[in-house]
Chain A
Amino acid sequence: MHSFERQIIYLLVMLVVSIPIVMKQSMKPAKMKSADTLFQMIEGLPVDHSGGAPEEIALLALDFGPNTKAENEPQAEVVIEHLLRKRIPFALLTLYAPGEGFLTSIPERVIERLQKEDPGVRYEYGRDWVNLGYRPGQALFIQTLAKSKDLRSELKKDVFGSPLKDIPLFQNIKTIRQIHFLAEFTGLVGIFDFYVQFFQQDGFVPLFGHGCTSITIPEAYIYLDSGQLNGLLEGIAGAAWYSKLLKDAFPKRPNDDALVTNTALGVAHLVIIFLIFVGNIREGYRWFVESHRHGGDAV
């Protein structure tokens, strides 16, 4: 293929994919069974209305950086939004250094959106969520966390340097047995494996949800199939379907970017399929002409 033809293809893909983004058009996403399961799982988590320090919390690991932000960020956004709406307290951390910025930006953005939707609603740092920041050590850290008899003394401080013993959300949290739900968002299978392998204590494993990138979907299915995962968000498509479920459950909720992104992605797929079709027809035609020309020469 000539370089010129390649550039035309790049331009065509960019132009076509831009249309839904410019027009802010979104189509109904395809139903994703594993995202459905994750949604129902979070719906079923116990909610403490007493207003006191929680006995159980959720833990969200945002182990992604700018390289897989396109897929993991919308996934983390919808799950965080769901937890906030349900008033399920959660802690955020990352084992991947470039992911630290997302621990602050995503909850802030989601809360801003929720407060715009309902100006009366209030979310409080330390009660509704806690940012534990970047934690080095990977497998060793997860194992230490899983074995810990006192998470507060193990984790010590949040990202702002406040001791966890002073943070209401962590007042009653001692071991990972009080983490009823674990969600991990990453495109790095290696980091995801650490949670599967080590985030358990004497047979206790929390409900486990995972947001993976499109590339790692086939590998994530292995864990879903074996029951090591309880719910899965598959790339943008999973986030878009989850977003639709949130919209159904909370009708006042405006559409978010996940639906537009998913529509643009669908358009991109159609373009790729079209190009594969055209490319094969062209190559087939070339082969046909070449073979007949040689056949003619031979005669």
Chain B
Amino acid sequence: MSWELATVVIGGFATLAIYSFLVRENPFYRFFEHLFIGIAAGFFPILVFKNFLWPKVFEPMFGFTVVTFPDGTTSAPYEPLNLLFLLPIGFGMLYYTLYSRRYSWLAKLVIGFSLGYSGGLAFKGFFAEMVPQLTGSFRSLAVFADGSFQLFATVENWIFLITLLSVMYYFFFTFRFASESAKGVSVTGRWLMMICFGAFFGSTVMARMALLVERLQFLILDWSEAMGSLVV
């Protein structure tokens, strides 16, 4: 049996095992559930080591990237500055001092560093993301194109504005206007959000169904063909 064929056959059994939960919980489902969790947990560290730590850090640091030719010459001289990788590695390893009661304070240095750079990135990212959205919300309430009035685009912009203002008002908790019209704005905001949640729910159903369709395609087309070739 080829490797590809084995992958398809096992994949089919795994899919059926996971779907067997729809009938009832059973040992077949439990086994594949644990197998999946184990593979997912093991896959990421191996990939990071294979694709990042080894080729980008350890290989250059140990000088494995330097090729020695038969005549004794090398492709490039060893770069001793690569040993500087040891500094961030050592700093990062301080995270593990969490397991020591005496030295656990050292981990706070790493956590503080991580929080600092994450905060800085988030701050910069927020403005890069939100400013275009903010300016994008300033829209013409009477749209003209090529000298003619665009009814559809105008209505669209009005709906956008009404939704934006009423939903913002709904979440405005500092003080409230007690008038009926202010309550009406708040209720409108709530109803518009309900419509939005309905759209969210519809798209969630669509995504789940897409997953089902893909698995059924796999079972009906690929897996059945693979099983057929095994039987024959």
Question: Hey, which bits of chain A sit against chain B, CB under 8 A?
Answer: 3, 6-7, 10, 13-14, 17-18, 21-22, 69-71, 97-98, 100, 133-134, 136, 139-140, 143, 156-157, 161, 187, 193-194, 196-198, 200, 213-215, 217-218, 222-223, 225-228, 235-236, 257, 260-261, 264-265, 268-269, 272
Contact = CB atoms under 8 A, between A and B. Distances in A.
Contacts of B125: 139, 193-194, 197-198
Contacts of B207: 71, 187, 213-215, 235
A100 B203 contact: no
B111 interface: no
Contacts of A18: 216, 220
The range of chain B's interface size is: 35 or more
A219 B129 CA distance: 13
B213 A261 contact: yes
Given A71-B207, A140-B121, A157-B55, A265 B213 contact: yes
20 contacts: A17-B216, A70-B213, A71-B210, A97-B43, A136-B51, A139-B125, A193-B129, A197-B124, A197-B129, A200-B128, A214-B206, A214-B210, A215-B203, A218-B199, A226-B135, A236-B210, A261-B210, A265-B210, A269-B206, A269-B209
Contact of A69 (B199, B214, B220): B214
Given A13-B212, A70-B210, A269-B209, A134 B121 contact: no
A70 B216 CA distance: 11
B217 A261 contact: yes
B216 A133 contact: no
B69 to A, nearest CB: 17
A17 B135 CA distance: 44
B132 interface: yes
Contacts of B55: 157, 161
A10 B215 CA distance: 14
B136 interface: yes
A21 B220 contact: yes
A193 B132 CA distance: 13
B212 A272 contact: no
The secondary-structure label for the interface of chain A is helix
Nearest to B11: A66
A228 B135 CA distance: 11
Given A13-B212, A134-B47, A269-B209, A214 B132 contact: no
A157 to B, nearest CB: 7
A98 B124 contact: no
Interface string B132-146: 110111000000000
Interface in B109-157: 117, 121, 124-126, 128-129, 132-133, 135-137
